[in-house]
Structure 1
Amino acid sequence: MTGLTAWIGVYDILRPSAGDTVLVTAAGGAVGSLAAQLAKRAGARVIGTAGGAEKCDLLTTRLGLDALAWVWTRPSTAVPTTGATI
Structure 2
Amino acid sequence: MKEQYSDVIPENIISLFSELVEQRDRIIHSFQITGPEPNPDQEQLLATKVRGSGEQFIITRKYLLNFIQKNQTLSDLLYDFRNI
Q: Which has the larger radius of gyration?
A: 2
- Which structure shows the higher strand fraction? 1
TM (norm. structure 1) is 0.23
TM (norm. structure 2) is 0.23
